[in-house]
Amino acid sequence: MSAAVAQTADVADAADSRVLITFDVDGTLIHSVGSESNKLHKRAFAHAMKRVFGIQGTIDAIQHHGSTDQAVLINTLEFYGIPRHISEPQLPVLCEAMLQYCREHAGDSADGIALLPGVRTLLEELTGVQPNVVVGLVTGNLEDIAWLKMEGLDVDALFTAPHIGGFGSDHMDRGELVRIARQRAEERIPAE
């Protein structure tokens, strides 16, 4: 067990409470690889924009790293000429179109992404620490897409069940996602 994980276990024991550890997905747990970089996720955006607004475009037209999926949709559509006051009310339809695309192409969930070095080992160590250590996600990805990526890379079982997190489907403001993850952990996983 690594020193950091052992220290987390000691803190958890001392406090006799839950410890919530969350990870971002893109750039923290995984990275995009190859010519098909983050293929499923990018194609889901393109599918949603085409289906709802008839726009043949890509999210690579804008700087989107660190944004929630909802913000990426709004900003990309604005780049292509759809004003926010028109696109924002369509967010539920856009997000559902993304999710539908991902469900239909779930077999491609690991295409163009890979775990960063050491991630699997770290998650395995955290999983075995203590029952009061809760491991989840805080990411701008829509929830189902985030877990689909984890499943495709065969690490979804290394997160606390039921799955906990704050996601781009919960709020457009990334700053709210940690609060949402904490609230879910408190509601779904009682303290020991």
**pLDDT band per the 50, 70, 90 thresholds, residue 129:** confident
**pLDDT band per the 50, 70, 90 thresholds, residue 11:** very low
Report residue 38 CA to chain centroid gap. 13
Q: With 90 as the cut, is the pLDDT of residue 34 above it? A: no
Query: Mean pLDDT, the chain, as a whole number?
Result: 90
Please tell me the distance from the alpha carbon of residue 23 to that of residue 165, in angstroms, as a whole number: 9
Please tell me the distance from the alpha carbon of residue 78 to that of residue 84, in angstroms, as a whole number: 6
Comparing CA positions, the residue from 25, 29, 7 lying closest to residue 118 is 29
User: How confident is the model at residue 192, as a pLDDT?
Assistant: 64
User: How confident is the model at residue 173, as a pLDDT?
Assistant: 92
| Residue that the structure tokens 């929830």 belong to | 143
Q: What is the set of domains in the chain, with CATH numbers?
A: 3-33+113-188 (3.40.50.1000), 39-108 (1.10.150)
| Residue that the structure tokens 């020193």 belong to | 3
Q: With 70 as the cut, is the pLDDT of residue 1 above it? A: no
User: Average of pLDDT values for 38-59?
Assistant: 96
Please tell me the distance from the alpha carbon of residue 178 to that of residue 140, in angstroms, as a whole number: 11
Please tell me the distance from the alpha carbon of residue 72 to that of residue 92, in angstroms, as a whole number: 14
**pLDDT band per the 50, 70, 90 thresholds, residue 7:** very low
Beta carbons of 110 and 36 less than 8 angstroms apart: no
Between the CA of residue 155 and those of 119, 147, 179, what are the distances in Å? Answer: 9, 9, 24
167 backbone dihedrals φ, ψ, rounded to 5°: -135, 160
User: How confident is the model at residue 132, as a pLDDT?
Assistant: 79
